[in-house]
Each structure stands twice: as C-alpha cells, then as structure tokens.
C-alpha cells in the first residue's frame, strides 16, 4: 500500500510543529502516513496546490502563514467558520476541488480550557488581524467573550477584520489595541519568532492580572511571555493552540482512513 502524504504549507516554515505532532500520532496509531513541511512563497501557493492535487496519495494540508486567506479563496467548499473569518488552516482534496475548514480558534480556546484558564471573560484583545488572529477572534466570540478588540500594524487590515466580524457579531467587536480593560491579550502576529524581535504588546498598558497568550509555537516561550511572567501575568504558550486542535484536524483530514467530504458552505466564487 502506498504511504499517504500530508503537508504543512507556509512561509516561513521552520516554526511549524505539525509534522512533529502528527508523525508521532501516525506512529502511535500504526498508520502508514507522513506529514512533511513545505516551504512555499505566497506567489507560488496556488501552483503548489495544483501539483499536490495531482498526487493520488496526498491526503491534505495544514496551512500556516501567510496562506490562510488564500486557502479560503481557493476552496470550493468552506465550513461556516471559514465563511465568517475569511481564512482557513486546513485543506482536503475532493472530487470537485479543495475543502476548507478552520481549527486554529477552536484549538486556542480548547488550549485555554485544558490549562484551566477562564474563557468567557468580559474583554479580550487580539493583536494581529491575519489568519490566526481572525480565527482566534471568531472562536473567542463564539465561546462567549463579551467583546473582542482587534489591532494590527496594518490599519486597513485591522479595519477590514473588524468590519467582517461585526457583520456577524455586531457591537461585540472593537477596533483598538490592548488596554487595562482586557482580561485576555493574544499575540497573533509573527513578532517573536526571531530572537531580537520587539514586543508586540506594551505590557505596561495591561492589567497585571490579564492573561497574556501567544500563538507562536517556536520558540515555545517567546520574549513576550517571558516578560509577561516577569511582570506577574499568567501566560499561555502557542503550542497549546495546536495541541487543542490536533484531533479535529485528524478527523477533518480523515487521517488513516477514507472519509466523505465534510459538510460546509459551497463557494463557487472566492469569498469576499
């Protein structure tokens, strides 16, 4: 039997933990499959997908920065979460094209709960309006957070994100940076992957009781989290976001067995 191949696609890709996590699961569960990391630039993403779709033993892909919005656009079928957030972090090939879903936010919320943190807080702030930020903001709103503030160095992207989420969640979405009013502050930017990166959040502006979380998985303890701990904040590492969604990704990609196409929203045209 031919080994089934899976991939995580991103640029950069060195920070990806998915091969480590899923290849360990394949070994534990006796499944002849392997996940590899593919370093693909933004201008070659769709070309890479065309090649992967031609492989009969390709089972699907986890999508990371900067391709999550493009993954939603190429899909012929999207989950309701993808339709709301406009981003996807998993793609599965189907007879008529790619199927897309979004589990980053679900994984982030599950990680909070698994670590004993309160999820239904009054106010949260998400720094970064890219794929991870949109997924996390959407999941927090679905989980019952009173309001979620969105901030991004790209003001247009931040405003677009707020407009998109406000269409579903109304006045529970705000356009601002983190403040002392926030019970939870999340870094959903790539700032912190590299040694010497500036802090993406001004910790002095936060309530000392606020939980500070990072979506970055490598390094596991970013400078932001190190400084937050030094100031007395509870913290959440990015690895919990993947750990919290691994089983959901496994089911969506039907790793180790055949599955019918997952339910979702048909999207013959690119999402807005």
Q: Look up residue 14 and give its two tokens.
A: 């060195």
Q: Which residue has the tokens 């589990």?
A: 103
- pLDDT of 262 strictly over 90: no
Q: HEC states along the chain?
A: CCCEEEEEEECCCCCCCHHHHHHHHHHHHCCCEEEEEEECCHHHHHHHHHHHHCCCCEEEEEECCCCHHHHHHHCCEECHHHHHHCCCCEEEEECCEEEEECCHHHHHHHHHHHCCCCCCCCEEEEECCCHHHHHHHHHHHHCCCCEEEEECCCHHHHHHHHHHHHHHHHHHEEECCCCCCCCEEEECCCCCCCCCCCCCCCHHHCCCCCEEEECCCCCCCCHHHHHHHHCCCCEECCHHHHHCCHHHHHHHHCCCCCCCCCCCEECCCCCC
222 phi and psi angles, rounded to 5 deg: -70, 170
150-192 pLDDT per residue, tens? 999 999 999 999 999 999 999 999 999 999 999 999 999 999 9
b vs e for 119-133, b when ≥16 Cβ sit within 10 Å of the residue's Cβ?
bebebbbbbbbbbbb
pLDDT digits (tens, 9 = 90+) for 127-156: 999 999 999 999 999 999 999 999 999 999
* Contact criterion met (CB below 8 Å) for 42 and 66: yes
The values of phi and psi at residue 58, to 5°, are: -95, 125
Cα–Cα distances in angstroms (integers) from residue 5 to residues 11, 33, 34, 135, 188, in the given order: 20, 6, 5, 26, 29
Respond yes or no: is residue 68 known to be catalytic: yes
Residue 175, judged by CB atoms within 10 A of its CB (0-12, 13-18, 19+), counts as middle
In this predicted model, what pLDDT tens digit does every residue of 183-241 receive, in sequence order? 999 999 999 998 889 999 999 999 999 999 999 998 999 999 999 999 999 999 999 99
- Domains of the chain in start order, with CATH, are 4-103+245-266 (3.40.50.10860), 105-242 (3.40.50.720)
Q: What does the pLDDT look like over 77-93, one tens digit per residue?
A: 999 999 999 999 999 99
> What tokens were used for 16?
């990806």
Question: Distance of alpha carbon 215 from its chain centroid, rounded?
Answer: 8
Instruction: Considering the candidates 26, 64, 65, 68, report the single residue annotated as catalytic.
Output: 68
d(CA 142, CA 14): 31
């Amino acid at each position: 039997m031919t080994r089934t191949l899976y991939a995580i696609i991103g640029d950069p890709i060195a920070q990806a933990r998915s091969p480590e996590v899923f290849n360990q699961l394949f070994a534990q569960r006796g499944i002849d499959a392997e996940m590899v990391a593919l370093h693909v630039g933004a201008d070659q993403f769709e070309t890479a997908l065309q090649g992967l779709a031609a492989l009969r033993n390709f089972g699907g892909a986890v999508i990371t920065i900067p391709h999550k919005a493009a993954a939603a656009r190429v899909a012929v079928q999207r989950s309701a979460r993808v339709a709301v957030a406009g981003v996807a972090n998993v793609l599965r090939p189907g007879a008529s094209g790619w199927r897309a879903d979004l589990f980053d936010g679900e994984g982030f919320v599950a990680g909070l709960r698994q670590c004993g943190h309160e999820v239904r807080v009054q106010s949260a702030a998400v720094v970064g309006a890219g794929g991870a930020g949109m997924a996390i903001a959407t999941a927090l709103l679905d989980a019952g957070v009173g309001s979620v503030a969105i901030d991004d160095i790209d003001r247009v992207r931040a405003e677009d994100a707020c407009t998109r989420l406000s269409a579903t969640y109304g006045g529970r979405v705000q356009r601002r940076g983190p403040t002392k009013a926030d019970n939870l502050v999340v870094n959903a930017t790539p700032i912190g992957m590299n040694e010497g990166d500036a802090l993406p959040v001004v910790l002095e502006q936060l309530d000392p009781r606020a939980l500070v979380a990072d979506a970055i998985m490598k390094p596991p303890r970013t400078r932001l989290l190190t400084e937050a701990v030094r100031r007395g904040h509870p913290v959440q590492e990015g690895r919990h976001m993947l750990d919290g969604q691994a089983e959901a990704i496994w089911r969506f990609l039907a790793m180790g067995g055949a599955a019918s196409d997952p339910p979702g929203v048909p999207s013959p045209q690119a999402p807005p």
